[in-house]
Structure 1
Amino acid sequence: MAHMSPEEFRKQGHAAIDWIADYWTGLDELPVLSQVAPGAVRRSLPASPPETAEPFDALLADLDELVVPGLTHWQHPRFFAYFPANSSPAAILGDLVSSGIGAQGMIWATSPAVTEIEQVVVDWLAQALGLPEQFRLTDYGRGGGVIQDTASTATFTALLAALHAASDGTARESGVGARKWAVYGSSQAHSSLVKAAMMAGLGAESVRSVEVDPVTQAMDVTSFERLLADDIDDGWTPLFVQAAVGTTSTGAIDDVQAIAEAIDGVGAWLHVDAAWAGVAAVCPEHRDRLLSGVHLADSIVTNPHKWLLTTFDCSVLWVRDRSTLIDALTITPEYLRNPASESGAVVDYRDWHPQLGRRFRAMKLWAVLRTYGLEGLRAHIRDGVDLAAYVEELVADDERLELVTARSLSLVVFRHVGGDEPTLSAMHRLNASGVAYLSHTVVEGRAAMRLAVGSWRTTRADIDTTWAELQRAL
C-alpha cells in the first residue's frame, strides 16, 4: 500500500485549491438550484468501490462532471434561501490546517492548544458581540463558551444541563422520573427544540407552543404567562424556556427581558436561540435590539457558520454557569484520567456537549477573526443589511407584492397580493430558472417568500438580476 508522499500531497493540494478557486470564479454562471433528477448522481457512480488505487487527480476530474451538477450552490451570490451557510477563503484555509493537524481535542491533555485556542476564541467572539461578561471564560470565571457543531446540538446540550439542575442531579443517574417536565418556545421556535425534548426522554408532548403576536411573530408574553400558570396548576414543572432572537420563518425577535421576568422565581432555565441573528451584534447599532435581556439568560447560542464567514460547522454555545453543564455531562473512564484533568486547572471540553470526540473547529473561527478583524466582520454584516433594505424598497414599489413582516436585519419576507398560488408559483419559477434560489414559509396561514442575504459574494447587481427574473416569474 502506497501513501501519498509529501511531494505528491503538495502537488494535489495545489490542484485542489486551484479547483476551488476556479469553482468560485465560475459560480455566478451556474444554476443556483441543482437541476438533476432524483437518483441521477447515484446512478452516475460505480456500483462497487475500486479494487486498485486510483490517482487523486482522477477524483478531481470527476468533480465537474459528476458532483457540480448535483449541487445546490450555497456559496452562490444569489443563494437567498433558508439562511446563508457562509464560508470564506480564510475559513477554508483554517479548516484545511485543522484537517492537516488532525488533532483530537476531547480533553486538554490530548492537545492543549486545541482547547486553549478555543477558550480564547469563544471569549473573543463574546466580547465582539457585546455579550455580558458572565458568559466569558476569562480568568476561569463561572461561565464560558464552547464550539458545537450546530445550534440543534447546543439546544439539546442546554436542555440536558437544565434537566440536571432542576432534578438536583438525579436525572443523570435515574432518568427523568415521573415528574411532568414542561418545555416552552413560541410557535415559531426552531424544530430542534422538539427534537431535543425527544432525545432527552421528555417526549414531544412536553413542549408547549406559545402563541405569537400576529404582526411581529414574536412570542406573546401574556399568552406565555397564562400557559405557564395553567401548567403549574396542573402539576407540571417548568423546565426550559427558549427565547428566539431571529426565528427561521421571519426573523422575529422575542422579548427576552419580558420572558425572563415571567419566569422569575419559577426556576426554569432560559435559553436564547440566536443562531442566525446573534452574530449581527458584532455591529453596535444592533445590540440593543438583539441583546436586550440576554444578561438574564442561562445560555445563548449563535452560529458563525451562518452569517459570519465561517465554514460549516461552527456553532458557539455560552453558559452562565459552566459547572451545571459539566456536572450534567461528565463521565470519566479510566483511559481518560490524567494529571492535568485531575488537577482542576484545565478545561476538558468533552464535558461540555454530548460528543466525546471533537475537531479543532476553533482554527477556522480564529482564522476568520484574525484575517477580517472586527472592522471587516462589521462591514460584511452591514452589507447584508443594506442589500436587504434595498430588496425591501423593491417590494414596496411593486403593487403586486407586499411585505408580510417588517424586514429583520438581512431577511425580507413578502408575498403576492393575489394569495398563495401566485406567491408560490412565482417563487418556483424563479428557482427553476437557476438565476436565484429563495425558500418559503407560512405566516398566519398564508404562504410567503423569504429572501435572506448573507453571502460574502453578493452584490447589488445580484439583487437586480434576481429581481428582474422575479418580475418575469410574477
Structure 2
Amino acid sequence: MTADEFREYGRAVVDWLADYWDRVESLPVLAQVEPGQVREQLPARAPEHGEDFYAVLEDMDTIVVPGLTHWQHPSFFAYYPSNTSGPAVLAELLTAGLNVQGMMWQTGPACTELEQHVLDWLAGLLGLSDRFLSTGSGGGVIQDTASSAILVALLAALHRASNGRATRDGVASGRFTVYTSAEGHSACEKAARVAGLGAAALRTVDTRADFSMDPDALRNAMKRDIAAGYTPAMVLATIGTTSTGAIDPVPQIGSVCTEFGAWLHVDAAHAGVAAICPELRWIHHGVNDYADSYATNPHKWLLTTFDCDACYVADRDALIGALSVLPEYLRNQASESHSVVDYRDWGVPLGRRFRALKLWSVIRWYGGEGLRAHIRHHVALGQQFAEWVAGDSRFELMAPHPLSLVCFRLRGPDEVNRQLLEAVNATGRIYLSHTKLRGTYTLRMAIGAISTRDRHVADAWDLLCREAARLLPG
C-alpha cells in the first residue's frame, strides 16, 4: 500500500467509523445472529489475489456489523462500560503506524518515558500517593487487562513471601495461599492456576451484608491456614466488584495483611477511575496506606480504547525480582546503568505496545474537568435509575449502588426475572446482563457508555416497566 493509497483508505476508514458512531443507536444492541452465521458468509479459503480495501469496508457493513453486539451503543447496560473515544482511536492509529516494540527503554525511549509520565498523571488525578509514582521506589505500568495485573501482583507476592525461592525453585518449594471474597473476580483463581499454585490454594472469604469482604472472616481464614502450615501470600481486595460494585473495606483488610505479612492487591478495574472526582475519592480509602499494588482500567469507564490497565506497585523490587530474565541479546548500556526502566521486567510478555499514547491523548483532550464530568453524569443517571426502582413496589434493589451500577429485580420467582431479562434484550433496544446474589437471580443496570444520555436510561426503565406489567398482570 503506497502512501497515497494509505491516505485515501485511511480517510475512508475514519469516515466509516464516524458514520458508525452516528448510526449505532439505530442498530440492535445485542447481536441478532445464530452461531456459525458469520462464518457461513466468509470464503472457505484465503484470497489468492489481493483485494481493494473498499471491499473490506463493504464486508464490514454486510457481515461484521450485523454480527456484533454494540458496546458503544448508548443503551448498552450489560456487564460494565467499555468506552472508546475519538482521541483514543486516533492515538491507536498512531500506535499501530509507529508499531514501536517497547520492551526496553533502549527499544523505545519515548514509549517508556511517556508511559511512566502519563501513569504518574493518572495517579495524581486519582489521588494515589507518592508511593505509586515512578519518581520513587514504586511506579505504574500499563498491562493489557486487570487479569494480567492480578497475575503479576501474585508473582511479586510469591517472590516476596518466599524470599525469592518461588522464583528460583518454583512454588513447590512452599505452600502458599491466596484470598479473595466470594464476589472477587474469577481472574484471581486463574492467576493461582497460571502461577502454579492451583485452584486449591485459593481461599474464598465470606462477605458482609453489603457484599463486601468480611475482614474478620479473612483473619480467621489466615489463622487456620498458618496453623496448617501454609503461608498467606496475597489478598485480593476489590473496589467495585463485577456483580454488584461492592467496595471492600481496604483499611481493615490492609490491617489483616500487615498482621500476617500478606501482599495486598487492590483490584479497582471498573470503579477505580471514579476517584478522579474528589467527592468519590472515598472509594480509595486505605489504598495509599496499605496496598502493595493497585490496578484500574481506563478502558472500561475512562474513554480509553481497549486494552489499557493502569497497574501500580508501591515497591517495584519484588515485581522486577519475580519477572526479570536477562539473556545476553537484551543486554545494553542503558539498562546496565540502572538509570532507566525496562518494562519487559514488569509483565509477562516481552513485547509491549505503545499503549500510553491513547491514555495520554484522552487525558490531554478531555482534561481532568472533562473526565470528571463524564463520570459524574453516569453516577447521576445510576442514582436516578435506583430511585425509580425503589419507588416501584413491583421491584426491589438488591445491593448498595454508590456509583452507576444498579442491581435490581422484580419481586417474585427467579423465572419471572429471567423472562423479563430475555424480553427486554430481545427487543434490541437495550441490553442488560444478570448475576446471582446469594442464589437469587438479579438484573444489572451498568451505566457508562460514552453516548448514554438521560433519555436512554428513561427509555430503558419504561421498557422494563411495560414488560413487567405484561409478566405480572394485575
Q: TM-score, normalised by structure 2?
A: 0.98
Q: Which runs of 5+ in 2 are unaligned?
A: 469-474
Shift of 1:291: 3.1
Q: Amino acid of the residue matched to residue 416 of structure 2? A: P
1:93 maps onto 2:90 in alignment: yes
1:127 maps onto 2:124 in alignment: yes
Residue of 5, 9, 14 corresponding to 1:8: 5
TM-superposition CA deviations, 1:419-452 (whole Å, max 9, x none): 2111111011111110010000001110100011
Local SS of the residue matching 2:258: coil
Residue of 404, 412, 433 corresponding to 1:410: 404
Aligned runs of 1:28-39 on 2, under 5 Å? 28-39=25-36
Local SS of the residue matching 2:141: strand
1:61 maps onto 2:55 in alignment: no
1:217 match: 211
1:337 match: 331
| 1:198–1:204 Cα contact (<8 Å) kept | yes
Shift of 1:256: 0.6
1:183 match: 178
TM-superposition CA deviations, 1:152-209 (whole Å, max 9, x none): 0000000000111111111122101242211000000000000000000000000000
2:158 match: 163
Q: Amino acid of the residue matched to residue 134 of structure 2? A: L
Residue of 103, 117, 136 corresponding to 2:114: 117
Shift of 1:271: 0.5
1:448 match: 442
| 1:250–1:408 Cα contact (<8 Å) kept | no
1:228 maps onto 2:222 in alignment: yes
Alignment length (residue pairs): 468
Residue of 39, 43, 47 corresponding to 1:42: 39
1:17 maps onto 2:14 in alignment: yes
1:102 match: 99
2:243 match: 249
Q: Amino acid of the residue matched to residue 92 of structure 1? A: V
Shift of 1:293: 4.1
Residue of 187, 190, 204 corresponding to 1:192: 187
1:205 match: 200
| 1:272–1:294 Cα contact (<8 Å) kept | no
| 1:242–1:273 Cα contact (<8 Å) kept | yes
| 2:131–2:288 Cα contact (<8 Å) kept | no
Q: Which runs of 5+ in 1 are unaligned?
A: none
2:352 match: 358
Q: Amino acid of the residue matched to residue 163 of structure 2? A: D
| 1:160–1:328 Cα contact (<8 Å) kept | yes
1:148 match: 143
Find the aligned partners of 1:345 and 1:178 in 2 and give their Cα distance: 34
2:467 match: 473
Shift of 1:264: 2.0
TM-superposition CA deviations, 1:297-330 (whole Å, max 9, x none): 1000000000000000000110000011111111
Aligned runs of 1:287-326 on 2, under 5 Å? 287-326=281-320
| 1:305–1:313 Cα contact (<8 Å) kept | yes
Find the aligned partners of 1:384 and 1:295 in 2 and give their Cα distance: 29
Find the aligned partners of 1:265 and 1:24 in 2 and give their Cα distance: 51
1:259 maps onto 2:253 in alignment: yes
Q: Amino acid of the residue matched to residue 110 of structure 1? A: T
Local SS of the residue matching 2:94: helix
Q: Amino acid of the residue matched to residue 202 of structure 1? A: L
Residue of 81, 84, 91 corresponding to 2:81: 84
Q: Amino acid of the residue matched to residue 416 of structure 1? A: L
Shift of 1:350: 0.6
1:428 match: 422
| Percent identical residues | 53
Local SS of the residue matching 1:323: helix
Q: Which 4+ residue blocks in structure 1 deviate beyond 6 angstroms?
A: none
| 2:246–2:400 Cα contact (<8 Å) kept | no
1:464 match: 458
Find the aligned partners of 1:28 and 1:355 in 2 and give their Cα distance: 38
| 2:254–2:286 Cα contact (<8 Å) kept | no
Q: Amino acid of the residue matched to residue 50 of structure 1? A: P
| 1:256–1:294 Cα contact (<8 Å) kept | no
Shift of 1:75: 0.4
2:472 match: none
Local SS of the residue matching 1:184: strand
Q: TM-score, normalised by structure 1?
A: 0.98
Find the aligned partners of 1:340 and 1:44 in 2 and give their Cα distance: 52
